[in-house]
Structure 1
Amino acid sequence: MIRTAIFAACFAMPAFASEDIADKYPQSVLYDKPIEVIPNVWSAIGATAPPTYENAGHNNNLSFLVTGDGVVVINGGANYKLAQALHAEIKQVTDQPVKLVINENGQGHAMLGNSYWLAQGVDILAHVDAVHEFEEREAQILAGMQRYARENSEGTELVRPTMTFEDTHVIDMGDMHIEVLYLGPAHGAGDTQVWLPDLSMMIAGDIAFNGRMTPIFTDTCTSCWIETWETGFAPLNPTYIIPGHGYPTNLAQVTHHTMGYLKDLRTKIGAHLDNGGTLDDAYYVDQSNWEFLDTFNELATKNAGTVFAEMEFE
């Protein structure tokens, strides 16, 4: 019953796009309490908003797998206190120890909580490109988190993953066969997917968004992202998806909210370029059909300019 309600909720989200989204779990530094999406696959769903003091940086999904012989955590969290809070929730679910943490990319909300997990003696796995991105920007990432999180940043130190992989890392633990995948360039460097083929469950990371507009970085290759989706991600045809941001859902929903948006924006920017349009005017291409996505107000204009710069010399 609970899981049915979870999947139904993702199609009935309120149509507003603002970072002013109330905390759902005020007694914890977590934005929301973990839910069991399917048996033994849990996720604490983050705010569909930018990182703020109110959400302590919990604006992505922090997931964990209860395998029968240990727990695998997906995402270190945005700071030490978020990782600690997630661990407290895991202990309420199972007495199995956490044996591995997987960082889904090199961003702060995936890696800054690593200091907590390493202190517990837990190995941390990430793609080599994600580690390189974190190494290049770690001081900046930490400083940014400290500004918005304030006292919630206490205890956080820069800790890089202890293990890396390049293409696929397979884990057989307890009752679960887990495939940690790098399918190709997507939202950011080293974007990682955790695939549970026996359960048809994909913990997608930032290749997939639901109910929230994706930020497009200056080093994001949107054409590469689309190709990775169409040649690597979609053919796996998962029944269940926990996206990097937004509620658990299905392939059709994240295809619409992620690929639909990227393809539509590229089409409009392409037409703008064909008509001799400038960067100044590109910011105002019509994206009103995506206004229902959270963070539309914060990201739509920026995304248009970034895609213009990307496509101008394609």
Structure 2
Amino acid sequence: MTATLAQADDTPDKHPGSVLYDAPLKVAEGVYSAIGATQPPTYENAGHNNNLSFIVTSDGVAVVNGGASWKLAEALHAEIRKITDQPVKLVINENGQGHSMLGNSYWAAQSVPILAHEDAVADFIDTEGPRGLKALKSYARENAEGTSIVEPTETFTERKDIQMGDTRIEVLHLGPAHSPGDTQVWLPDSKVLIAGDIAFSERMPPIFEGTCTLCWIETFETRLEPLGADIIVPGHGAPTDLATVRHGTVDYLKDLRAKIAEHLDAGGDLSQAYYVDQSQWTWMDTFDELATKNAGVVFSEMEFE
């Protein structure tokens, strides 16, 4: 499987001449993903630090993630046109964060319908959109030009079944996980799951205030795993298999919860919780940025469980 050979790294720009961090990779027949940097958003990567995927069918293209900006969406569209003459007929946002929805401004200008979970839309409009746009203008500078807050044109709650030509696309909300309205795109015929931020492998999962890590583990184990995906495109990092994303997601969350439980049982407080031993996870990108923050959030979550 050629997709597993792709490895994200710290190269400043893997696709010179484009604002995209890297060119689209063929994941499976008709499925492509432009793999973003696994580091925080910077001027050098123009905010392309998540995966921008698309599905080419006999009746149009479905894009998964609007992108972090107008320019990133426009650049992805240019790459799509190199691969197919089929028009983009749908954009699916995987969550309410800026790098999923801020590029909606470009796609809306092309009159492309945009689909997202209702909770992700609320999160984007209330919090993530304004915060994300402010951050984008700060770090991306000229690459933020043209970007504005545009909400999706259609929402769903649990699932949306789509038939595009001979391709079945299941847009799913498997349950609570990383952020409100986390969305997964399942292609049952090819057994490819564009998982979004419910699944991590190379990059440390960020845990937000209000995230239920116990719920995240349960959703992954009881709803995602039974799908039986052969190829998983995580929200960040190279396409891989179930065992790899399970280790980078569920094993990490369980280990951190176990460490915090031990800390609580010993009478430890929040100030000490930040420094529980996470040394086995130092290999993950963004460890330095996220490990102590994650520990503090999980302490607050578990303190009164």
Q: Shorter-normalised TM-score: what interval?
A: over 0.9
Identity %: 66
Structure 2 matches for 1:257-272, cutoff 5 A?
Answer: 257-272=248-263
- Does structure 2 conserve the Cα–Cα contact (< 8 Å) formed by 1:129 and 1:189? yes
- Alpha-carbon shift at residue 8 of structure 1 (Å): 3.2
User: How far, CA to CA, are the matches of 2:260 and 2:23 in structure 1?
Assistant: 40
Task: Return the match for 2:284 from 264, 268, 293.
Answer: 293
- Alpha-carbon shift at residue 26 of structure 1 (Å): 2.4
Q: Are positions 1:115 and 2:105 aligned together? A: yes
User: How far, CA to CA, are the matches of 2:173 and 2:30 in structure 1?
Assistant: 23
C-alpha spacing 1:91/1:9, structure 2 compared with 1 (3 Å): closer
User: How far, CA to CA, are the matches of 1:55 and 1:206 in structure 2?
Assistant: 19
User: How far, CA to CA, are the matches of 1:144 and 1:7 in structure 2?
Assistant: 32
Question: Secondary structure of the residue that 2:197 maps to in structure 1?
Answer: strand
| Counterpart residue type for residue 73 of structure 2 | A
Q: Are positions 1:135 and 2:125 aligned together? A: yes
2:64 maps to: 74
- 1:221-278 deviation line (CA, Å, top 9, x unaligned): 1111011111111111201100011100000000001111011000000110011011
TM-score, normalised relative to structure 2: 0.98
User: How far, CA to CA, are the matches of 1:219 and 1:94 in structure 2?
Assistant: 41
C-alpha spacing 1:302/1:114, structure 2 compared with 1 (3 Å): same
- Does structure 2 conserve the Cα–Cα contact (< 8 Å) formed by 1:21 and 1:49? no
Q: Are positions 1:176 and 2:167 aligned together? A: yes
Structure 2 matches for 1:274-285, cutoff 5 A?
Answer: 274-285=265-276
Question: Secondary structure of the residue that 1:254 maps to in structure 2?
Answer: helix
1:29 maps to: 19
TM-score, normalised relative to structure 1: 0.95
Higher mean C-alpha deviation, range 265-274 or range 22-31: 22-31
Question: Secondary structure of the residue that 2:168 maps to in structure 1?
Answer: strand
- Alpha-carbon shift at residue 48 of structure 1 (Å): 0.4
| Counterpart residue type for residue 199 of structure 1 | S
- Does structure 1 conserve the Cα–Cα contact (< 8 Å) formed by 2:37 and 2:49? yes
Q: Are positions 1:223 and 2:214 aligned together? A: yes
User: How far, CA to CA, are the matches of 2:11 and 2:292 in structure 1?
Assistant: 21
- Alpha-carbon shift at residue 139 of structure 1 (Å): 1.7
Question: Secondary structure of the residue that 2:32 maps to in structure 1?
Answer: strand
User: How far, CA to CA, are the matches of 2:209 and 2:138 in structure 1?
Assistant: 22
User: How far, CA to CA, are the matches of 1:59 and 1:130 in structure 2?
Assistant: 19
User: How far, CA to CA, are the matches of 1:286 and 1:178 in structure 2?
Assistant: 41
User: How far, CA to CA, are the matches of 2:120 and 2:255 in structure 1?
Assistant: 28
- Does structure 2 conserve the Cα–Cα contact (< 8 Å) formed by 1:213 and 1:257? yes
User: How far, CA to CA, are the matches of 1:80 and 1:237 in structure 2?
Assistant: 35
- Does structure 1 conserve the Cα–Cα contact (< 8 Å) formed by 2:191 and 2:230? yes
- Alpha-carbon shift at residue 25 of structure 1 (Å): 1.2
Q: Which runs of 5+ in 2 are unaligned?
A: none
Would you identify which runs of 4 or more consecutive aligned residues in structure 1 move more than 3 Å? none
| Counterpart residue type for residue 274 of structure 2 | Y
Root-mean-square deviation (Å):
1.1
| Counterpart residue type for residue 55 of structure 1 | N
User: How far, CA to CA, are the matches of 1:8 and 1:96 in structure 2?
Assistant: 28
Q: Which runs of 5+ in 1 are unaligned?
A: 15-19
How many residues matched? 304
